[in-house]
């Protein structure tokens, strides 16, 4: 991997002993050091847990041993261990300041990133601690969702943040957009003369953004009871992916230009009509400890929404996500309008398998496919659905793919806000959500391991959900066997 000229970076990691830190952030930062993307990295960990620097180093060692995807990263462990520091949470702002000064004692001109891997209710107290410690000026702050739970709370949160940090210093993280495949949408759309001209209501019938999850909520029910699938997933993730899919060509690939086009999409969104929403709850959710017996929290949501602008007027966007579903997936599927079929004889098969689709798989092993009709060899005119597929794993770039959190930490270190969410964007999305939040439809039960409540089929009719796929992704290793 090419070496980077990233300035020296200090990451102040709040919630350093939490689950996200253990599974993603610490292994990710080890990889950024090992790969040379951030060659001079210092990490100051802090949390409410009792640790010394020595016991924190031991904790990190166990975490990266268990969760580092690339075994080669562990070769950098001895160097990484020297860069780990601990600030006891009990010592407050003064202890934090002292730990940061010690970590930065050997070099000047460092970029300082404060990563808030903490519960939402703790975020503003961390901001206050940073202010008391004199660690705000020239630094950047990375925040995890949720960014409020409605328009009023989002405005309050932004207002409080802006008392201490300028908007340009705030990086609201969305790990969906850190995935290589999400960024590939921009390249695919705007770099190819084949696709850019047809990305339009004249050619596109509808769009699906589908993120079912197999996992349940056994460990997170307390948190989830106050949010639900819409606040947890749609506002923070799926709407951001929708913006990448629907935005106009930016004037350049600069963060400001891209964010302006994303915000134009949000400004053009029609407020969500509760009649175009299906809410569901998997059977057994109410039996989980911490869940109210009469809970109306949705663990599943499907939405039909519209973007009222010149490019997308009248094109429905279907969004779906839920817990305990048949399989885990993250796809964007573009359905193209079907041409007239009058020239093809009855029984030819044209139209039998629905419209042509362009599908992006946003899972960690990024893939794309384009489906189309082709003639079956032999006499007569019999058509079959065929597909062309591309998988990142088939290329010699596969080893260069950064895990989503690695990419986002690296971008924040470089000051690139392309993949992060702005205050304006977040507030507009809560504004669009108000009709649904004020008048949510009834929650319908669905079977664990299914694709959601039956009403989802009425929501999307006369179309059909792309998942479950009728045709599986091809395994290139199986070809020719």
19 annotated as ligand-binding: yes
Question: Is 145 labelled as part of a ligand binding site?
Answer: yes
The pLDDT tens digits along the chain (481 residues) read 344 467 899 999 999 999 999 999 999 999 999 888 998 999 999 999 999 999 999 999 999 998 886 666 788 899 999 999 999 988 999 999 999 999 998 877 889 999 999 988 899 999 999 999 999 999 999 998 889 999 999 999 999 999 999 999 999 988 777 776 677 788 888 888 888 888 999 999 999 999 999 998 887 787 888 889 999 999 989 999 999 999 999 998 888 898 999 999 999 999 999 999 999 999 999 999 889 999 999 999 999 999 999 999 999 999 999 999 999 988 999 998 877 766 776 766 666 667 778 888 877 666 778 777 777 787 878 777 777 777 766 665 555 667 888 889 999 999 988 888 899 999 999 999 999 999 999 999 999 999 999 999 999 999 999 888 765 666 656 554 3
Q: Which CATH class is domain 180-402+422-476?
A: alpha beta
227 known ligand binder: no
CA distance 120 to 236: 14
End-to-end CA distance of the chain: 33
pLDDT score for 452: 96
Tokens of 478: 């199986």
Q: Show the tokens assigned to 39.
A: 């060659």
What CATH architecture does domain 9-144 belong to? 3-Layer(aba) Sandwich (3.40)
Question: Residue 16 annotated as binding?
Answer: yes
Report the predicted TM-score, pTM, of the whole model to 2 decimal places.
0.89
In this prediction, residue 475 carries a pLDDT of 66
Q: Is 228 exposed, middle or buried (0-12, 13-18, 19+ CB in 10 A)?
A: buried
pLDDT reported for residue 373: 73
Any known ligand binding at 256? no
Say if residue 20 carries a ligand binding annotation: yes
For residue 275 the two structure tokens come to: 């009649």
**Residue 345: predicted pLDDT:** 66
Any idea where the domains of the chain sit in the sequence? Answer: 9-144, 180-402+422-476
Nearest alpha-carbon partner for 12 in 479, 459, 412: 412
Catalytically active residues, by annotation = 237
Please check if 129 is assigned to a binding site.
no
Q: 357-361 and 140-143 as β-strands: parallel, antiparallel, unpaired?
A: unpaired
Distance from the Cα of residue 230 to its chain's centroid: 14
138 labelled ligand-binding = no
Torsion of CA 238, 323, 226, 267, to 10 degrees: 10
What pLDDT is attached to residue 351? 66
pLDDT of residue 2: 43
> In the prediction, which pLDDT does 3 show?
47
Q: In the prediction, which pLDDT does 476 show? A: 59
Rounded distance, CA 48 to CA 90, Å? Answer: 7
For 306-341, the three-class secondary structure string (H helix, E strand, C coil) is CECCCCCCCCCEEEEEECCECCCCCEEEEEECCCCC
Quick check: 384 and 376 in contact, CB under 8 A?
yes
Judge contact between 158 and 423, C-beta under 8 A. Answer: yes
**Rounded CA separation 284/452 (Å):** 14
Q: Which of 427, 429, 409 is nearest to 419 (CA)?
A: 409
**Which pLDDT score, from 0 to 100, does residue 298 have?**
97
Residue 323 known to bind ligand? yes
């Amino acid at each position: 991997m090419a070496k980077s000229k990233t300035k020296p970076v200090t990451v102040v990691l709040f919630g350093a002993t939490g689950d996200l830190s253990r599974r993603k952030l610490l292994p990710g930062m080890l990889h950024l050091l090992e790969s040379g993307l951030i060659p001079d990295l210092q990490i100051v960990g802090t949390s409410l847990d009792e640790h010394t620097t020595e016991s924190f180093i031991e904790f990190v060692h166990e975490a990266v041993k268990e969760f580092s995807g690339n075994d080669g990263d562990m070769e950098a462990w001895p160097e990484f261990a020297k860069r780990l520091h601990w600030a006891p949470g009990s010592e407050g702002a003064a202890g934090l300041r002292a730990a940061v000064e010690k970590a930065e004692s050997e070099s000047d001109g460092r970029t300082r990133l404060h990563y808030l891997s903490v519960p939402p209710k703790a975020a503003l107290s961390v901001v206050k601690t940073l202010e008391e410690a004199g660690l705000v000026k020239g630094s950047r702050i990375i925040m995890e969702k949720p960014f409020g739970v409605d328009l009023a709370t989002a405005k309050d949160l932004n207002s409080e943040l802006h008392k201490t940090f300028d908007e340009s210093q705030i990086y609201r993280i969305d790990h969906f957009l850190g995935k290589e495949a999400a960024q590939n949408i921009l390249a695919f759309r705007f770099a190819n003369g084949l696709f850019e001209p047809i990305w339009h209501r004249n050619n596109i019938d509808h769009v699906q953004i589908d993120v079912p999850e197999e996992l349940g909520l056994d460990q997170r029910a307390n948190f989830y009871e106050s949010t639900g699938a819409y606040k947890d997933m749609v506002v923070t993730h799926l709407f951001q992916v929708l913006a990448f899919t629907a935005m106009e060509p930016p004037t350049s690939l600069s963060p400001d230009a891209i964010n302006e086009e994303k915000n134009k999409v949000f400004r053009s969104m029609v407020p969500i009509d509760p009649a175009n929403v299906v809410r569901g709850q998997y059977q057994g959710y109410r039996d989980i400890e911490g869940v109210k017996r009469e809970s109306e929290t949705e663990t599943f949501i499907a939405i039909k929404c519209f973007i009222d602008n010149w490019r997308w007027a009248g094109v429905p966007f279907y969004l779906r996500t839920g817990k305990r579903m048949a399989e885990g997936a993250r796809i964007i599927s573009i359905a193209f309008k079907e041409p007239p079929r009058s020239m093809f004889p009855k029984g030819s098969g044209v139209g039998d398998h629905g419209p042509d689709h362009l599908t992006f798989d946003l899972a960690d092993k990024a893939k794309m496919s384009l489906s189309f009709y082709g003639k079956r060899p032999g006499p007569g005119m019999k058509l079959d659905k065929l597909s062309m597929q591309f998988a990142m794993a088939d290329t010699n770039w596969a080893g260069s793919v950064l895990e989503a959190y690695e990419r986002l930490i690296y971008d924040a270190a470089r000051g690139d806000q392309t993949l992060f969410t702005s205050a304006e964007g977040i507030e507009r999305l809560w504004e669009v959500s108000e009709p649904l939040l004020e008048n949510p439809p009834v929650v319908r039960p669905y079977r664990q391991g299914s694709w959601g409540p039956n009403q989802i089929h009425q929501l999307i009719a006369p179309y059909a959900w792309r998942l479950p796929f009728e045709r599986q992704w091809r395994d290139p290793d199986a070809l020719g066997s």
